[in-house]
Amino acid sequence: MRPARALIDLDALRHNYRLARELGGGKALAVVKADAYGHGAVACARALEPEADGFAVACIEEALELRQAGIQAPILLLEGFFDAAELPLIVEHRLWCAIASPWQVEAVADLATDAVLQLWLKLDSGMHRLGLSPEDFRAAHARLSALPHVGPLVMMSHLARADELEHPRTNEQAALFARTVEGLAGETSLCNSPALLGWPQVRSDWVRPGLMLYGANPFPDHHELAQRLRPVMTLESKVIAVREIEPGEPLGYGARFVAQRRTRVGVVAMGYADGYPQFAPNGTPVMIDGVRGSLIGRVSMDMLTVDLTDHPQAGLGSVVQLWGNEPTIAELAPRCGTSAYRLPCGLKRVPRSYLNP
C-alpha cells in the first residue's frame, strides 16, 4: 500500500478549541467548513461535539453532511442560504443561518413556518465582501426582530486584516461594528483566529475560530500565544527508492536541481496530486526519520525527492514528514508561495487516520 498518509490528532484539536474559547471568554463556534480545512469535518465535529458550543460551515451541503453523521449541535451557515428554496431544509435541520443581503431578509420575512429561525445578522464593517451596510443592518434588525418566526438575533461581522498586527483596520472595523450595534438587542460575534490570538481588546459573545483549531499560527511571524497551539495534521510518507547521482547530473523534471556533489537522493511517495505544494523550492524543509532535511528537485504529481547525502542512517522505508510539528504549515506556506489556510485544504488522495478519537 502506498505509504502516504495524514495523521489527525483529535486531542490537539480539542486542546486548540479550548484555547480559542478561553481566549474568547465566551462561546465558540468551531469552524469546520471546507471539510474542516482538509482535516475531515465529520471526524472533527464528532471529536468536538461534547464540548463545542456549535459549528460553522460555508453552505447547507456541508451542514447536512454533519447532520447525516448524527451531529446534533448547532450549525451556523456562514453564508446563509443561496436560494430561498433552502429555507425548508434549514428549518427541518435546525440550522442557524447568517443573513448578509437584503434579499435574504425579504426571503425570511416571506417564509411561512411554525418554527423559530436562529439568525446571525451580518454587518459589512469594512471587509466589503458579505454583509449589510450599517443603515441596512439597523433596518434589517428591526424588520427581522418583529417577525414571530425569528428568534433573538446574533449580530456578526468579519475582520479583513486581523493577521496584520500593526494595521489600524481591525480597530476601525471593531469601532464601526460597536457603533452600529449600539442599543440593538442580541449577542455579538466578531473574532476569527487572528483576532482571538492577536487582538485581545476586540471581543464578542461568540468567537469563530477556524485555522487556529487546526494548530496553525495565522501570523506571518513568530507569535507567543500561537506557540500554545498544537498542530493537528501530520502529513507523512516514506522513501520508496534511493540512488546516488554524480556531480553535474540533473534530478527530475526540468533539471531544476543539479547535483553539486555526489548526492544521495531519496524518492518519496508524495506529490502535488496529494496536495503537497507543487512549487516548493529546493531546500524546502522536510523531516527525514525525525531529522531536518531538504527537498531537492521539482515536485511531481505522485513523488518528490529529498537529499539523503547528510542522512546516512536514512534509506528505503525511512519516514518523511512533510508537515506537522516540524515543519509547521505556517513555516512551509510562505516558502511555497501559498498560505497556511491553503495547505491542509488542498489535501487529496491521502488517507487520513485519526489519533485519540
Ligand X SMILES: *Cc1c(COP(=O)(O)O)cnc(C)c1O
* Beta-carbon contacts of residue 50 (< 8 Å; ≥ 6 apart): none
- CA 205 to the chain's CA centroid: 21
The stretch near ligand X (CB under 6 A) out of 11-19, 81-89, 207-215, 263-271 is 207-215
Amino acid at 242: V
> Which of 24, 209 has the CB closer to ligand X?
209
Cβ at position 170, least distance to ligand X in Å = 13
Size of the site for ligand X (CB under 6 A): 12
Running DSSP on this structure, what letter comes out for residue 226? G
d(CA 53, CA 24): 12
Q: Does 190 bind ligand X (CB under 6 A)?
A: no
> Which of 153, 212 has the CB closer to ligand X?
212
> Which of 90, 191 has the CB closer to ligand X?
191
The answer to whether 266 and 221 are in contact (CB under 8 A) is: no
Q: Does 192 bind ligand X (CB under 6 A)?
A: yes
> E strands along 113-195, which residues?
119-123, 154-157, 187-189
Contact string (CB under 6 A) for ligand X, positions 44-83, x = contact: ----------------------------------x-----
Cβ at position 187, least distance to ligand X in Å = 15
The stretch near ligand X (CB under 6 A) out of 6-14, 81-89, 211-219, 281-289 is 211-219
> Which of 211, 251 has the CB closer to ligand X?
211
The stretch near ligand X (CB under 6 A) out of 133-141, 205-213, 328-336, 344-352 is 205-213
Angle at Cα 232 formed by Cα 226 and Cα 236, nearest 5°? 120
> Which of 24, 285 has the CB closer to ligand X?
24
Quote the cell numbers at residue 247.
Answer: 556531480
Q: Does 193 bind ligand X (CB under 6 A)?
A: yes
Catalytic position from the list 17, 37, 122, 253: 253
Residue from 158, 223, 238, 298 in contact with ligand X (CB under 6 A): 158
d(CA 138, CA 153): 12
d(CA 254, CA 251): 8
Residue from 210, 215, 275, 327 in contact with ligand X (CB under 6 A): 210
Catalytic position from the list 17, 33, 214, 341: 33
> Which of 189, 305 has the CB closer to ligand X?
189
Quote the cell numbers at residue 330.
Answer: 505556517
* 33 is a catalytic site residue: yes
Q: Does 31 bind ligand X (CB under 6 A)?
A: yes
Q: Does 30 bind ligand X (CB under 6 A)?
A: no
Quote the cell numbers at residue 323.
Answer: 508537515
Residue from 211, 270, 288, 295 in contact with ligand X (CB under 6 A): 211
The stretch near ligand X (CB under 6 A) out of 202-210, 235-243, 246-254, 305-313 is 202-210
d(CA 262, CA 272): 27
Please report, for residues 58, 187, 201, 296, the alpha-carbon distance to residue 63 in angstroms, rounded to integers and kept in the order given. Answer: 8, 22, 32, 41
For 74, counting Cβ atoms within 10 Å of its Cβ (0-12 exposed, 13-18 middle, 19+ buried), the class is: middle
What percentage of the chain's residues is helix, strand, coil (to nearest 5)?
30, 25, 45
* Beta-carbon contacts of residue 111 (< 8 Å; ≥ 6 apart): 84, 87, 117, 149
Nearest position to ligand X, beta carbon: 210
For the annotated catalytic residues, the residue numbers are 33, 253
Chain residues that interact with ligand X, rule: CB under 6 A: 31, 33, 78, 158, 192-193, 208-212, 218
